[in-house]
Structure 1
């Protein structure tokens, strides 16, 4: 059981909740703050004070006063009118993260909701009832209004949910699980939809997959090093210490660990004096990606515990402030940065693939073909990798540099953070497939060299990988191999580290 406080949620806990389906509960201390905040809202309504979103309309309608008898209808209308999501739904894992993050944000006690709202969100997490939330339609400021409105619909017994592998009407599932729908009261609709949880949830899932992929990229690159008889000297610790980037030094250390004992890699001057950059500069390039991922992780962990709705209630209601914490700019920039960094893993991987298949760049059979000419071997796998790399270049164009005014120019600068997070995730998916192609090609290359000469860890990867993709003895439909390898990398989440192998 993980206790949510609104302050302490981290990636270790997120992995347990998302992947292990660990149960969650709200801390009693946080619930005290929630109840105090709620009393402040009720006092505002009772006294007829003019406070944005509680006794006024929204956006451009912020100057329209709402009678206290209409506060419930105001909140219901808000959720219904803002449920304008478009397109395919977010992955179910992202929906689960979104519900969790919204509950955690409300537990900070600045939002003025009743405890029952948070309790229902926690029920959805614990009973694995995940709202169907269309992935398009958010500008990433004023919160992720459209996506979070679809989340809020489920609390009302409306909309659809993912439940036990099916997509079903929300009310049917809530009834079955005895989770009773709620009626929204003052501020509660606004508190549910005014936040950055869509972009943050997508970013959290994307980051966790990118982190695993970055580890796997080093291991796969190590197998490529063996297949191409790469030069070990480029990973010498003194070179990387001389530059001083910690992440670069870490990559080089892991590469040395993966390749320890290998009789396929060489010393400088034995086969060639130096390698091409895609081999020699792996620590520098992958290390820079790790620098970016560390930055992204820091921003996401802050946002996972942030109050991002509006207005926020302080000092037991003595201070109620309309601000802009819903603006997704910090996450928008982080997601754009992550897309660029992960795309570079694909860029350099594709160049290694080219070196594995191009007979002008190695002494292996052309395109790793068992019968060059009669059989094409890995020729078109490189084409496929090049296509994905090129697509990544368009996806890595920053979404955050764009802004379109909305709500009659009241909301005149927006972040596009949710677009950025979705694009970053697509880059992760594409990059995994590029690395899958490199893995297939590198395994074929080391077969020609002699797998008995491999390092212990790379040989372990080879043996496990051969259970997924068999050796290329004859041309076949390689698309199936690429998807099988990609699925293995994603689902097994296998990370090989020097001296040990762990599952994350």
Structure 2
């Protein structure tokens, strides 16, 4: 049981999204949210409060009458518009988990019973149907409004759900005032990328051993010379993997390797650095009350602000996709080396014979297609802008688009890594090295034992699918790769 106490983590979000655990709000947190709800009611009776005593957006100057009991429901209904394909359950659960974690930090002023409603949705897997198009980056309004309507029975859930009483203005806007869907999607993508990044080091090591690479590229001296964040850590990991492989007969084939082997520590360190940075930003966003308006209970004030403007998150997401676009061609370089007789010492494309067989030729093409997707997704979403609500919102960060682009990049990166893994394993087998390694490299080769052994020209779709299924397990062989799972 995950007991939320005001300090949620990406691991909590992933566990709840994957249905690996149940959730409950700590009694002390529920008491604090209840107190904030009572104080918010008192503050909004003294101060004009956006979305509670006034309209929203361009209607912010229009007062809402104190006896208007229908305003909260009208607000939710009008903001629930979305379109496109339905989101999958895993994504929806991630959003619900993020919103529940966020609401454990008092500040929204909403009814504490809503936290119990989110608990039930997650624990019973009773989900709202949410659709693809709606979010921009200043709040996932439609997704959260639709969730609210589902909690109250106005929209069907995926399973029977006892409806809550209808909400009032004290809870409608506060519940919607969040980027929980964007943050949830980002948490899932970051957790997956973290495993894939570590898997890439193992696959690199297998390629390195197969190609008789020169270990000076990841020496401590080379890492220091890079003068860049996380190169030391990546190089140290590679040294550990190489040394632990226990292959004393390894003799470098070249004085200086091609970039695919030589600059991997530097290029991959950019991914590690951006991952570390985005983890920090996501967990800050998870554990901060960002609702607008914010009820500052200690300060006895209603704060109208723009803290929900996800500029920092958008930049972190864009930076991560850019780092992946930087390192992806280096992976393709190794795939090319594995297929080239000048570097593999075997037939072109690791074919079974020199008779014009194509071998792994098309695997290079698949890898190139994945790189094209990563490059396309790396166009920064944060450079875009749009004016909405009669000029009230004159700039959107498009953080939600940045999250979608990271998802695309991660999916393509999986394909790219499985292409390299298929080639590295084939070359190690052809050289008779597949049973000669210890440590993590030996464990990795054991995991790949079920990959097809037939090197004749045939349909390789199954090989790539089987290799892709191994990537998460490979990633878990390294260090703290399971920190989010």
TM-score, scaled to structure 2: 0.93
Q: 1:78 and 2:79 equivalent? A: no
- 1:262 counterpart residue number: 247
* 458-467 vs 409-418, which moves further: 458-467
Q: Does 1:191 align with 2:171?
A: no
Residue 10 of structure 1: aligned partner: 9
**Cross-structure match for 1:291:** 273
Q: Aligned-pair distance for 1:498?
A: 7.6
Query: Quick one: distance in 1 between partners of 2:261 and 2:107?
Result: 52
Which residue of the partner structure matches residue 147 of structure 2? Answer: 151
Distance 2:478 2:295 in 1: 47
> Is contact 1:232-1:265 (8 Å) kept?
no
Point out the more displaced range, 27-36 or 273-282: 27-36
The answer on 1:122 being equivalent to 2:119 is: yes
Does residue 1:253 correspond to 2:251, yes or no? no
**For the residues of structure 2 that align with 1:30 and 1:503, how far apart are their CA atoms?**
24
Cα distance, 1:82 vs. partner? Answer: 1.6
Q: Which residue in the other structure is 2:65 paired with?
A: 67
Give the structure 1 partner of residue 318 of structure 2: 336
Asked if the contact 2:344–2:427 (Cα under 8 Å) also holds between the matched residues in 1, the reply is no
The match for 2:191 is 208
Alignment match, 1:370:
352
Post-superposition offset of 1:361: 4.3
Question: What residue number does 1:300 align with?
Answer: 282
CA distance 1:287–1:44, shift in 2 (3 Å): closer
Please state if 1:415 is matched with 2:397: yes
**Does residue 464 of structure 1 match 2:447?**
yes
Contact persistence 1:405–1:413 (CA under 8 A): yes
Q: Deviations over 1:388-411 (max 9, x none)?
A: 101211111000110101001100
Given that residues 76 and 148 in structure 2 are in contact (C-alpha distance below 8 angstroms), is that contact kept between their aligned partners in structure 1?
A: yes
**1:431 aligned to which of 413, 417, 421:** 413
Task: Give the match's secondary structure for 1:68.
Answer: coil
Query: Which residue is equivalent to 2:208?
Result: 225
Distance in 2, matches of 1:470 and 1:220, equals 17
Hey, what's the Cα distance between the residues in 2 that align with 1:132 and 1:498?
38
Specify which of 128, 132, 143 is matched with residue 131 of structure 1.
Answer: 128
State the 1:438 CA deviation.
0.4
More divergent stretch after superposition (89-98 vs 210-219): 89-98
Task: Determine the structure 2 residue equivalent to 1:173.
Answer: 160
Equivalent residues, number? 482
Q: Is the 8 A contact 1:404 1:412 kept in 2?
A: yes
Q: Aligned partners of 1:365 and 1:499: how far apart in 2?
A: 38
Any unmatched runs of 5+ in structure 1?
Answer: 162-167
Helix, strand or coil: the match of 2:477? Answer: strand
2:35 is aligned to: 36
* In structure 2, C-alpha distance between the alignment counterparts of 1:317 and 1:68, rounded to whole Å: 24
Q: CA deviation at 1:216?
A: 0.2
Contact 2:324 2:374 in 1 (8 A): no
Report SS of the residue matched to 2:3: strand
Measured after TM superposition, the shift of residue 288 of structure 1 is 1.8
Shift of 1:447: 1.0
Label 1:498 to 1:406 Cα distance change in 2 as closer, same or farther (>3 A): closer
Q: Report the CA distance between 1:374 and its aligned residue.
A: 4.6
1:263–1:453 Cα contact (<8 Å) kept: no
1:235 to 218, 226, 245: 218
CA contact (8 A) 1:37 1:316 kept: no
CA contact (8 A) 1:41 1:54 kept: no
- Mapped to 2, the partners of 1:130 and 1:482 lie a distance apart of 33
Q: Any conservation in 2 of the 1:346–1:435 contact (CA below 8 Å)? A: no
Native 8 Å contact 1:495 1:502 kept in 2: no
C-alpha displacement of 1:500: 12
Whether the aligned pair in 2 keeps the contact of 1:339 and 1:396 (CA below 8 Å) is: yes
Distance 1:130 1:472, change over 3 A: farther
Counterpart position of 1:101: 98
Q: Kindly provide the CA deviation profile for residues 426-464 of structure 1, in whole angstroms up to 9, marking residues without a partner as x.
A: 100100110001000110011122123344422321221
Question: Which consecutive unaligned segments of at least 5 residues does structure 2 have?
Answer: none
Question: Which whole-Å deviations, capped at 9, do the CAs of 1:325-344 have from their partners, x for residues lacking one?
Answer: 22111111111111112333
Which TM-score applies when normalising by structure 1? 0.89
Tell whether 2:17 aligns with 1:27: no
Confirm or deny: 8 A CA contact 1:140 1:196 kept in the other structure.
yes
- Quote the offset at 1:422 in angstroms: 0.9
- Determine the structure 2 residue equivalent to 1:87: 84
Please provide the CA RMSD for this pair: 2.5
Q: For 1:382-421, what aligned pairs fall within 5 Å after superposition? A: 382-421=364-403
Q: Distance in 2 between matches of 1:227 and 1:233?
A: 16
